[in-house]
A = this chain, B = another copy of it.
Amino acid sequence: MESKLVNNLSDAIRAAGLKDGMTVSFHHHLRNGDFILNLVMDEIANLGIRDLTVNASSLFDIHMPLMDHIRNGVVSKLLTDYVSGGIGRYISNGILSTPVEFRSHGTRATDIACGRTPIDVAFIAAPAADCRGNCTGKLGRAACGSMGYAIPDAMYAKKVIVLTDELMPYPLADWAISENFVDYVVKVDEIGDPKGILSGTTRITRDPVGLVMADMAAKVIQASGLLKDGFSFQTGAGGATLAAAASLKKIMLEQQIAGSFALGGITGYLVEMLRSGCFRQLMDVQCFDLDAVKSIREDPRHREIAAAHYAGPGTRGAVVDSLDVVILGATEVDTDFNVNVHTDSSGCLMGGSGGHTDAAAGAKLTMIIAPLVRARLPIVTDRVGCISTPGSSIDVLVTQRGIAVNPGRADLAHALRAAGLPVVDIQELKQKAESITGIPQPVAKGDKVVAHVLGRDSAIQDTVLSLPQE
């Protein structure tokens, strides 16, 4: 058998023909445990290649060495869907001369597929692979479960290099990416640190405010009329949203509601709902914990989906378009229901849409859960520091002090009031918060554009300015 194994990463990069000014890509299923991006960028720097665009589905603090590669000219442009706080601070301080392009996970997939953001060399961190490049996240010491975000990179990049620390006998049966998309395979010592890749278990919040919001969220879903046979659901891994899922599960089991699917990043909690019969199926683009990894490996009802299938915008659509309810977070919501998940209260980048904008656009009921006050600042503002997800996609904001419904959803407001839920005007929520915190000072901003946030149509939706110079 002709193996695609090359001796080392350096040989693979050379064989792939990487040159100055090209674009390389990375996926983020190894999250804050990922060793691959740093390993690759160091090797690229050693080879003297410069002026690269890095298209990374997300960046975490473990990727901080990337900042050095920006400083020394190896990297000149970033495309990403999410940045952690540490990385965000550097970007907000203007480390790049070109604005970062932020996309949603779905828009990233579509823009790669349609050639708007071509990739020259994709680097795929694979927890298990065979010598011809069939690879999976379901096996191996650094198993991450789904590899959904890496699939567009593999399908459309000009060259594809798989890096693995677990070589399996050919053919690896349960591939996420098949060999016909792979040019080279490189064996490395360790692709990542399992502790940084997955939580041991995801936990429901014990915070009383979180529990109040969770209970209210479940009641909103119930009152919306969507909680019936065929119900579909997406939520994140945050403690309060998990608590909302717990409340939902209780209602679904009591009322014997047979949902259809849960979607998105998958936690053990959603796996438990699958097993309890709340859903027929899990559609998984990313596993958040060990239970989810075990489930996607063993349970055929738990399916891996590609980023485009999950959330790609466009006429053919994606699973998000068939979603009933999504529960999402926010750092700020404004009185037009625009949501910020990119910047913190000081205007510093510390997040990104991920699938936020996609799920919000698709779901019949998009709910933001957030405490009325966070870090002594109101959650509701006149204008968010950055429009991550437009207010037109948001139906309802649930806080512990009341529920604000988008004026475009009078039907929903009516249903919630009929169910005895505390519907209030969003202005009222803002005033309540300000009565606690006072009116916050306007955020001082620098004058350099450090990021463009692109909407699902790939057009610029908002712009992030640098932090003020100290």
Binding site for B on A (CB under 8 A): 1-2, 4, 132-133, 160, 169-171, 173-174, 178-183, 230, 260-261, 280-281, 283, 300-301, 303, 305-306, 308-309, 312, 315-319, 321-322
CA distance A173 to B132 in the complex (A): 28
Specify which chain B residues have a CB less than 8 angstroms from the CB of A133 in the assembled complex.
316
Question: Closest CB-CB distance, A139 to chain B, in whole Å?
Answer: 13
Q: Are A180 and B317 in contact (CB under 8 A)?
A: yes
Shortest Cβ-Cβ A-B pairs, 9 listed: A1-B322, A178-B309, A180-B309, A180-B308, A173-B281, A180-B316, A180-B318, A180-B312, A171-B261
Picked from B4, B179, B305, B309, the residue with its CB within 8 Å of the CB of A318 is: B179
Q: Which residue of B lies closest to A283 (CB)?
A: B171
Determine how close the nearest CB of chain B comes to the CB of A163; give it in whole angstroms: 17
A169 to B178, CA, bound (A): 28
Task: Write 20 A-B pairs (CB below 8 A) sorted by A numbering.
Answer: A2-B317, A2-B321, A2-B322, A4-B317, A132-B322, A133-B316, A160-B316, A169-B280, A171-B260, A171-B281, A171-B322, A173-B280, A173-B300, A173-B303, A174-B300, A174-B303, A180-B306, A180-B309, A183-B315, A300-B300
How far apart sit A328 and B132, CA to CA, in the bound complex (Å)?
25
Inter-chain contact A301/B183, CB cutoff 8 Å = no
Asked if A316 contacts B179 (CB within 8 A), the reply is yes
Establish whether residues B303 and A132, one from each chain, have CB atoms under 8 Å apart when the complex forms.
Answer: no
Chain B residue nearest in CB terms to A303: B173
* Chain B residues with CB under 8 A of A181: 316
A182-B316, A316-B180 given; A322·B173 CB < 8 A: no
Compute how far the CA of A181 lies from the CA of B305 in the bound complex, rounded to whole angstroms.
Answer: 13
Contact of A178 with B305 in the complex, beta carbons under 8 Å = yes
A421 to B421, alpha carbons, bound, how many Å? 86
* A82 CB → nearest B CB, Å: 22
| A301 and B173 contact, Cβ closer than 8 Å, known pairs A179-B309, A309-B178, A318-B180 | yes
Distance to closest chain B CB from A122 (angstroms): 13
User: What's the nearest-Cβ distance from chain B to residue A314, in Å?
Assistant: 8
Instruction: Please tell me which one of the listed residues B173, B178, B317, B319 contacts residue A171 in the complex, with CB atoms under 8 A apart.
Output: B319
Chain B residue, CB-CB nearest to A131: B322
Question: Which residues of B lie under 8 Å from residue A319 when comparing CB positions?
Answer: 171, 179
Q: How far is the CA of A130 from the CA of B411 in the complex (A)?
A: 29
Beyond A300-B300, A317-B132, whether A322 also contacts B170 by CB under 8 A is yes
Q: Which residues of B contact A321 (CB under 8 A)?
A: 1-2, 132
- Residues of the B chain whose Cβ atoms lie less than 8 Å from the Cβ of A171: 260-261, 281, 283, 319, 322
User: How far, in angstroms, from A281 to B171 measured CA to CA in the complex?
Assistant: 8
Give complex CA distance A44, B426 in Å: 55
State the CA gap A318–B1 with chains docked (Å). Answer: 11
- The chain B residue sitting closest to A171, CB to CB, is B261
Give A312's nearest chain B residue, CB to CB. Answer: B180
| Assembled-state Cα–Cα distance A151/B315 (Å) | 19
Chain B, residue nearest A178 (CB): B309
A303 to B182 Cα, complex, angstroms: 19
A309–B306 Cα distance when bound, in Å, is 17
Residues on B with C-beta less than 8 A from A179 are 309, 316-319
Decide: A170 near B260, CB < 8 A? Known: A1-B322, A180-B306, A180-B308: yes
Q: How far is the CB of A417 from chain B (nearest CB, A)?
A: 27
Question: Smallest CB-CB separation from A301: which chain B residue?
Answer: B173
User: Knowing that A180-B317, A183-B315 are A-B contacts, what are 18 other residue pairs whose CB atoms are under 8 Å apart, sorted by A's residue number?
Assistant: A2-B317, A132-B322, A170-B260, A171-B260, A171-B283, A171-B319, A171-B322, A174-B300, A178-B305, A179-B316, A179-B317, A179-B318, A180-B308, A180-B309, A180-B312, A181-B316, A183-B316, A300-B300
